[in-house]
Every structure is written in structure tokens, then in C-alpha cells.
Amino acid sequence: MGPFLRQRWDTGIVYAKTFLKWTVCSVITGLVCGAIGTAFQLCVQYATDLRLEYSWLLYLLPVAGLAITGIYQLAGMLDDGGTNTVIQSIRSAEKVPLRMAPLIFASTVLSHLCGASVGREGAALQIGGSIGHFLGRFLRLDEKDLHIITMCGMSAVFSALFGTPVTAAIFSMEVVSVGVMYYVAFLPCIVSSVIAHLLTRYFGTVPTDLPQVEIGELSALSILQVCALAAGCAVVSILFCIALHQANRMCKQWLGNPYMRIFLGGAITILMVWVFQSRDYCGAGLDVIVSALRGEAQPQMFILKILFTAVALGAGFKGGEIVPTLFIGAAFGNMAGGLLGLDPAIGACLGMVALFCGVVNCPVASLFLGIELFGTTGLLWFAIASAVSYLLSGYYSLYSSQKIVYSKLHPNYIDRNAK
């Protein structure tokens, strides 16, 4: 064999080994994280069903908060950075502790059981990132590959919970550094995401089906309407991010004792439920999302969900921010769409996609989210909504450790942290 053929042969062997390595690693990650994600989804759903059946569980929310703080203190993770820790680990040598997974699993279930206004997908990123990081160390991967398998874990559990495998894979690649996509992680992330998705379907734990909304052809008028709606979502996304960050900062500043902080947060949530005479804002709020997609949400719902979620997460309850984001986007889009002359149900669809994009700065993942949830007929609508919201939402983010690598205004390298 000549030198030229030998070089091509050696190159082919390297590619084949890399393909085989990541196929095996991502299948293992997808199976492990998919199984854990399935169990997590079942537990959260069971806790939610119990809360709806036994309304008195809401009054145990302050006690549940004390229990959450206690287990985090016992585990030595009282100052845990949550999803920010996972994101930071992908850009550095920082380790993600394995104990993060059982802690966020148990505390999120407890938060949902007693009615804290939290989601679950943010918890999924922590569970998946923690398990993926552990599997990478178990398989003796080097530091760079450890980052990739951490993203695989994030993709797998996100996919298991929400049923959007492509969105889950793209989101994990896109959320770490805005302006840069880690394409080397595409094969591992999509394989682990699909494996986890298939596993949840096998066990019959398919996520809640959302109503399908009929989206027609774009016209000159509807383009203007979509742009206006997306601009409004960008403003709401900034408001939501500021509310969450300020609530967290103020709670820690005013109440240094974490037990007192979370107990009071639970008590305030109970008081707000009594004042507004509604439990729609307890838990993730998937029922309200469904109502909004049928054009039936009430105008004040989006602002009240911001308030309830800010109190819960600021006080120290555990869960995620993604489903509350979709709740807020659906409710705001339902209202704003009607005011702009759009079908309120279409407005709710666009609001979910645009607000998601605004708070996570992931336009490609947002586009796929719209497609996987509502089909390809709304492709152009979702693309315009994501583009407008991405630009106008500035550098705010749910995750302060998210790195803005390139400017949204000019093709310049800025390398700054999100607000």
C-alpha cells in the first residue's frame, strides 16, 4: 500500500473509531439518562396528581421548603449554582457533582407536590448534566470529551421530559455559548436524545400532547403581526429574567438564613393563591398552556406567573424555568395575538417560541421547538418570531453563566456573560 492510500486508510480508521466511540457513549448515556428522566417525569406527574386531588398539600409548602433546604445543607450543596454549574462545566474543568442529580430530583418532586411555581426542564438539565459528567469520568474520557458527554446527558433527560429530541440536542449545543455551536457534539447529542425519547415512548410516558393549532400562509400583514408579537415577547423575556435574578438577589440580601427565606417564600405563595383566588400558577401550569393554545387564557395570567415563579425560585424552591417560560409565552401570546388581529391560539404558539428564544438566546433550538410541538406548517412564522425575539431581547438570560460570544448587533467577538 502506497503512502497516499496508507494516509487515507489511517484517516478512515480515526473517523471510524471516533464514530464508534461516540455511538457507544451516547447510547449508554441515552439509556441511563432516559430511564432516569422517565422516572423523574412519572414522579413529577404523580406529585402533581396528588396535589390536585388533595388541595391541603399546598399548606405544607413552607414545610417542604425547610425539607429541601435541609437536604441540600446535609449534602454540602446549599450554595449550589444549579443549571449555571452545568453550563459552566462545559467551558471549564469545573466538575459537576453526581449528588446534584438525586438532590434536584427529590427537591423538584417535593416542590411540585406542594405547589411551588416551578417547572421541570431546568431540573432535567441538572440531572442530565450530572449523570453525563459522571458517565464520562467512569468511561475515563478526557476533559474535552467530558464536556461533550455532559451535553449528551442534558439532551437525553430534556428529551425524555418534553418529547422534543431535536430541540433537546440543539439546545444543549447552543445554550452554552451564544454565537457558537458545538457541532462536534451533534452526533452524540442527537443519538442520546433520540434513545431517551424512544425509551420514554416504550414505557408509555409520552409527554402531554398539546393542542394542534392550524397555522395558515404568511401574508404581508401577518408578517407585521408576528414581528410585533415577537417584539412584545422580547420585552416580556427581559422582564422575566430581571424578575428572577432580582428576586434571588433580594431574598438573599434581606433574609440571610436560607431556612427562613424558603419558609417565608412558601407562606407568601399560599397568601398569593388566597389573594388571587387561583391555583393556576402552582406547579408547572401545563393546563394553562393547553387553555392558551385553545384561545382561552386570561390577560393577567402571564404577569402573575412571572410573580409566582420569581417568588418560588427566589426563595429557594427547586425546579425549572422552561415550562414557566412556555406558560408565560402562551398566555402573553394569547392576549397580544388577539389585540394584534391574530388568532389567539396562533398567538399562543408564537408566544411560546418567541419567549423561549428570548430567555435562553437559542434561535435555532427555538425554531425546532416550534416545529416539533406544532408541525412544519408554521416554519416561517416560528423563524420570524425567533429572529425578532433573539435580537430585541438583548443579552438577558435565565442563566447568568451563559456566555455571549458574538454580539447580536454586529459581527463582533465580545465574549461576555449574559445578564
Could you read off the pLDDT of 98-139 as tens digits, one per residue? 899 999 999 999 999 999 999 887 788 999 999 999 999 999
d(CA 315, CA 306): 14
The per-residue pLDDT for 88 is 85
The per-residue pLDDT for 179 is 85
d(CA 33, CA 44): 16
Q: How many angstroms from the chain centroid is the CA of residue 290?
A: 18
Q: Reply yes or no on whether the pLDDT at 32 is more than 60.
A: yes
Torsion sign (Cα): 92, 68, 325, 374: positive
Residues whose CB is less than 8 angstroms from the CB of residue 78 and which lie 6 or more positions away in sequence, other chains included: 69, 72, 258
The per-residue pLDDT for 94 is 80
| Spatial CA neighbour of 240 closest among 297, 307, 192 | 307
The per-residue pLDDT for 413 is 85
Q: Is 286 helix (H, G, I), strand (E, B) or coil?
A: helix
The per-residue pLDDT for 2 is 64
> For 30-39, 58-67, 181-190, 409-418, which range has the lowest pLDDT when averaged over its residues?
409-418
Instruction: Using DSSP bridges, classify how beta strands 403-406 and 413-417 pair: parallel, antiparallel or unpaired.
Output: antiparallel
Confidence of residue 208 (pLDDT cuts 50, 70, 90): low
d(CA 405, CA 377): 32
Joined together, the cell numbers standing for residue 45 give 406527574
pLDDT digits (tens, 9 = 90+) for 247-283: 999 988 888 899 999 999 999 999 999 999 999 999 9
From start to end of 112-204, where are the E strands? 177-178
The per-residue pLDDT for 210 is 84
How far the first Cα of the chain sits from its last, in Å, is: 58
Joined together, the cell numbers standing for residue 194 give 433520540
The per-residue pLDDT for 343 is 94
> In the chain, pLDDT over 90 holds for what percent of residues?
70
d(CA 128, CA 151): 8
The per-residue pLDDT for 346 is 95
Joined together, the cell numbers standing for residue 39 give 422516572
Q: Reply yes or no on whether the pLDDT at 1 is more than 60.
A: no
Q: Reply yes or no on whether the pLDDT at 4 is more than 70.
A: no
Confidence of residue 204 (pLDDT cuts 50, 70, 90): confident
Residue with cell 458574538: 406
Mean pLDDT estimate for the chain: 91
pLDDT digits (tens, 9 = 90+) for 220-247: 999 999 999 999 999 999 999 999 999 9
Joined together, the cell numbers standing for residue 246 give 432580582
The per-residue pLDDT for 307 is 97
The per-residue pLDDT for 302 is 96
pLDDT digits (tens, 9 = 90+) for 268-323: 999 999 999 999 999 988 899 999 999 888 989 999 999 999 999 999 999 889 99
Q: Reply yes or no on whether the pLDDT at 146 is more than 70.
A: yes
More confident residue, 161 or 333: 333
Joined together, the cell numbers standing for residue 136 give 464520562
pLDDT digits (tens, 9 = 90+) for 381-417: 999 999 999 999 999 999 988 988 888 988 888 888 8
| Spatial CA neighbour of 174 closest among 118, 125, 240 | 125
Q: Reply yes or no on whether the pLDDT at 10 is more than 60.
A: yes
d(CA 382, CA 348): 12
Confidence of residue 11 (pLDDT cuts 50, 70, 90): confident
pLDDT digits (tens, 9 = 90+) for 331-374: 999 999 999 999 999 999 999 999 999 999 999 999 999 999 99
| Spatial CA neighbour of 401 closest among 250, 231, 124, 178 | 178
Amino acid found at 287: D
The per-residue pLDDT for 271 is 97
Alpha helices in 75-142 (DSSP H): 83-90, 100-114, 121-138
Amino acid found at 395: Y
